[in-house]
Structure 1
Amino acid sequence: MPKFHYASLLSLLLLGACSEKPAIPAESPAVSSESIKRDSHTPPKAALPFSWETVPRFALMAKSEGALTHTEASYLAENCPIIIFDKSMEHALREDQSEVTVERAARQIKAINPGAQVYGYWNSIIAYNLYAAFDTFDANKEQWALRNADGSIYMKRGRRPCYDLSQEAVRNWWVDCAVQMLSEDSSLDGLLIDALPAASHSTQKHLWGSEKSAAIEVGLTEMVRQLDARVSDSKQLIYNGAGARLSKWEDRGLRFLESFDGVLFEHFCGCSTRDPKTGDLKTESLLDDLATMRRAVEAGKTVFVKAWPRSLPCLNLDIPITNEQATADLEFPLACFLLAAGDNCYFLYNWGYHNQDGQYPNYPEYQKPLGPPQATMAEIEPGVYIRSFQHAQVYVNLNEESASIDWHSQSQ
């Protein structure tokens, strides 16, 4: 990694602070302010447990083999102000459905830290039979399941049926289920609505037929708007479906911001920005992700960034990752996140979704004082970026896929 002297570039950094926003890749179109309407729903910034004191973090995970231990719950409650529990909590026990297990985990977290926010999970189109609510879909499967162009039931990855969102009855049932999860007596503060890109007309029309896939995408948009209208303003709605990997959506998925309080970038510095065969970083894709993040921040939305180790091939979750590898791989995605992060941006770095996939890390970077940003991201030479925080200087060289974070003591 080349040596970098921040003092010699202080004037450049301050110059970067004067610009309103960093350069945005040409292929990333601007998002119309008219398409981002949920400001009236979005709670005041103070409503979210956000701080620049250290790297702002969140958790997204499930422990399928059982309930969280007190040690595990304490770690999450004390280190992650927002925790998203996936659908498969306690699933291996096959005793309770997801509505019950996620509620139980939420209460466990809040008993330790009442100020923590806990979100549940609800997939926008893939039918996971882990919920009590699934019984209704199962009873209507012949009518409600999405079908291929040849009339057969479409199975996502050959395993799970999907909802035919072109049908009003399906959408109404789906919204009813989500609203029930966020009822006033629920311990949940919000929901992550997953897999919106799985309903994309441009990527699915070869399977479902052009007319059906177009109707599915329209139905998805109508459905999330209906959900937004019915959910209490005290609850948060987050969606997974933005970023460079959605290149066939010109707005990179930001069209859905109008119906949500925030957005998840699920594969940051992972498969969304790497060549699937070689694993090499696709620089323009990463810049695209950073630009999309900034647009969401500028729209007043919450941003969740789930980053991955470079040692892990794209979504090959069966490859074991050692703590040593994970520690060595952390600095680059963390530095990239910090280049674009704004208020209410949260970071997560691990190699999966389950309890054993790096959910309880003790990285030194997470303990060091950060402080609020002092400038915007600045490009000091082609492919090389810097940004200043109160207690840290960030340097990223995309040409070499290298980064460094110079942490200062608070006395400095």
Structure 2
Amino acid sequence: MASDDDSDGGSSKSRLSSDESHGRDGCGGGSGGGVGRCDKFNLFDEGEEDPLSLDQSKFPVWNWDHVRPWVILRRADAYSDDQIRQIAGHDIIVLEKMNGFKTYGNNEEGSLSAAKRIKAVHPNIKTLFYLNAMIHYPGYAANDTYKEEWATRDKNSKTNEVLMFKGRYFWYDHRNLDFREWWITRALEMLSHDEIDGIFIDGIMKTSNRNLCPDGHDAAYFDTATELRRRLPEGKLLIGNALRAKAKGGVGGKGNINHLKYLDGSYIEGWLHSDIAIESVDLMSAALKAGRIVMPHAEPDLSKEQKGELHSMKSLDNKYAFIGKRIGFSLGLFLLCVEPYAYFAYHYGVDASPATGRAAFDSNRFEEITRELGEPKGPYKKDEEFLYSREFEHLKVVVNVETREGTLTVVDGKRHEEL
């Protein structure tokens, strides 16, 4: 994706050592809405109340019929009618940065137009507007009222110069209260539109970047986000790019799970590395048991040569066929922890422009996602070193986190009917 935090890292081959702390049975399974404790990842201390008092009635559609898909996408001009129909086949759409600005003048109007068209096909889909926690991207109408004096100063500069991320973008400073109000207001303005169901905050990992951020900045961001949550309109969602198994502490806590104290759920990337795969599964389970949404995304695990081959393909049908052969590991890993409200995205690219991106974004093109799943027979099991399994009414899943293979065996499963 998408995200500016870190890449999916699907090609990591690092060897695991056996982690007996997972025991013979894992965290996955159950009905959700628990106390948010899953061994190593605890959202709440014993007796601590959930500050959100979550109302899951505003959450996207969820059931055990099949894997519930979500999608993240951008297109600088207008989506085609076919693309709108494909997007509408998902439960959640994140309208990523740079949506429609070439056709509609700015990202806000482009996102609103796309959201209206999508909801005309699927009224119950949840549409999320993209907002970055740290990077001042161009193309937004709200940028007209942003002041350069709010930007972070380069701590390594002797002349107190403005920090330019990647030499191009202002870097936000959440300690500045005027900036904080601007940032919150732009989110609330988008949420005033019926066709926008929530905000997606990207770049949360960057709020604690010690090389770029001033001391105490992660706490200042946390205050900003908590204030946005306090002012969030009723029925609207707040999702962030927060959870990471490799995050070790600080304001976000282990796994960055503390951010779920103001978020309804989290997008997850960088979770397919072999050395943190099961930790990531347990982290997602902890979030789900706390009644939160989880939205992992996955791309195929490819060599440099395979990426070149895929990138050169002109036919989208060929792209889907190519990446579909490699879905087993990531989907199998997701299924080890799936329960309400877990959603899965499997794709290649996020730019839907026929000229510049040609993303294969439609998760419903994969039978492994659309066929019957059924309720689980229990949590995942650790069968032997590196080997994990879980059984559902219509499917058996076996995942080897060392060889990065996943086997999905159908048990009297049928394909889910499309919208």
| TM-score, structure 2 normalization | 0.81
1:177 — aligned with what? 186
The reply on whether 1:105 has 2:114 as its aligned counterpart is: yes
CA, structure 1 residues 18+289, in 2 after alignment: closer, same or farther (shift >3 Å)?
closer
2:151 is the counterpart of 1:145? yes
Counterpart check, 1:379 vs 2:382: yes
Q: In the alignment, does 2:372 pair up with 1:337?
A: no
Structure 2 residues not aligned, in runs of 5+: 1-23, 31-36, 313-318, 353-357, 415-419
* Contact 1:25–1:288 (Cα < 8 Å) also in 2: no
> Shift in Å at residue 324 of structure 1?
4.2
Measured in 1, the distance between the counterparts of 2:229 and 2:308 equals 33
1:389 counterpart residue number: 392
* Residue matched to 2:210: 205
Identity within the alignment, %: 23
2:83 is matched with 72
**Contact 2:397–2:407, Cα closer than 8 Å, also in 1:** yes
Residue 13 of structure 2: aligned partner: none
Instruction: State the alpha-carbon separation in 2 of the partners of residues 385 and 237 from structure 1.
Output: 32
| Cα displacement (A) at 1:307 | 0.9
Query: Could you say what secondary structure the match of 2:359 adopts?
Result: coil
Change over 3 Å in CA distance of 1:94–1:72 after alignment to 2? closer
Which protein, 1 or 2, shows the higher relative CO under an 8 Å CA cutoff with sep ≥ 6?
Answer: 2
More deviation in 331-340 or 248-257? Answer: 248-257
Q: Against the structure 1 CA distance between its residues 198 and 317, is the aligned structure 2 distance closer, same or farther, given a 3 Å change threshold?
A: farther
- 1:37 paired residue number: 50
Residue 19 to residue 381, structure 1, CA distance change in 2 (3 Å): same
Cα shift readout 1:239-287 (whole Å, capped 9, x = no counterpart): 0021134346551111110101011103332xxx2xxxxxxxx33x112
Q: Name the residue aligned to 2:225.
A: 224
Q: Distance in 2 between matches of 1:288 and 1:36?
A: 25
Does 1:291 pair with 2:292? no
8 Å CA contact retained: 1:156, 1:162: yes
Q: CA RMSD in A?
A: 2.7
1:255-270 to 2 correspondence within 5 Å? 255-269=258-272
Q: How far apart, in 2, do the equivalents of 1:318 and 1:244 lie?
A: 32
1:125 paired with 2:134, answer yes
Q: Distance in 2 between matches of 1:219 and 1:301?
A: 23
Going from structure 1 to structure 2, the CA distance change for 1:163 and 1:370 (only over 3 Å counts) comes to same
Contact 1:103–1:186 (CA under 8 A) maintained in structure 2: no
Instruction: Tell me the residue number matched to 1:163.
Output: 172
* Aligned residue type for 1:385: Y
8 A Cα contact 2:58 2:236, kept in partner: no
| Residue of structure 1 equivalent to 2:19 | none
Superposed CA deviations along residues 329-388 of structure 1, whole A, max 9, x for unmatched, are 211100000001110100001232211221135222123111122210110112111111
| Aligned residue in 2 for 1:10 | none
Distance across 2 between alignment mates of 1:260 and 1:240:
10
CA positional deviation for 1:48: 2.4
Higher fraction of helix: 1
One-letter code aligned to 1:69: S
Q: Secondary structure at the match of 2:269?
A: strand
| Counterparts in 2 of 1:36 and 1:154: CA distance versus 1, 3 Å | farther
Question: Alpha-carbon deviations, 1:105-162, whole Å to 9, x = none?
Answer: 110011111121111111111111221101111xx20x10111112221122222111
1:84 Cα deviation from its structure 2 partner: 1.1
Point out where structure 1 has 5 or more consecutive residues left out of the alignment.
1-14, 274-281
Q: Distance in 1 between matches of 2:197 and 2:309?
A: 32
The counterpart of 1:310, out of the listed 301, 304, 327, is 301
In 2: Cα distance, 1:236 partner to 1:242 partner? 17
The structure-2 alpha-carbon separation of the partners of 1:144 and 1:47, relative to structure 1 and needing over 3 Å to count, comes to closer
Q: Is the 8 A contact 2:29 2:378 kept in 1?
A: no
**Structure 1 segments of 4 or more deviating over 6 A?**
17-21, 316-319
User: Residue 317 of structure 1 contacts residue 352 of structure 1 at CA under 8 Å; is this kept in 2?
Assistant: no
Whether the aligned pair in 2 keeps the contact of 1:331 and 1:405 (CA below 8 Å) is: yes
Q: Secondary structure at the match of 1:340?
A: coil
How many residue pairs are counted as aligned between the two chains?
365
DSSP-derived class of the 1:75 partner: helix
Distance in 2 (CA, whole Å) between partners of 1:296 and 1:186 is 28
Residue 194 of structure 1 contacts residue 239 of structure 1 at CA under 8 Å; is this kept in 2? yes
Which deviates the most, 294-303 or 151-160?
Answer: 151-160
2:7 maps to none
TM-score, scaled to structure 1: 0.82
One-letter amino acid of the counterpart of residue 64, structure 2 = W
Q: CA deviation at 1:233?
A: 2.5
The residue that corresponds to 1:352 in the other structure is: 349
**Change over 3 Å in CA distance of 1:308–1:247 after alignment to 2:** farther
Q: Secondary structure of 1:221's match?
A: helix
Distance 2:377 2:248 in 1: 32
Q: Following TM superposition, by how much is the alpha carbon of 1:35 offset from its aligned partner in structure 2, in angstroms?
A: 7.2
Give the C-alpha shift of residue 296 in structure 1.
0.5
- In 2: Cα distance, 1:107 partner to 1:381 partner: 50
- 1:217 maps to a residue whose letter is D
Aligned equivalent of 1:82: 92
2:11 match: none
For each residue in 1:26-66, what CA deviation from the matched residue of structure 2 results, as whole angstroms up to 9, or x when unmatched?
Answer: 9x5544347773441x22257421122111100111112x2
1:36–1:255 CA contact under 8 A, matched in 2: no
Distance 2:236 2:264 in 1: 9
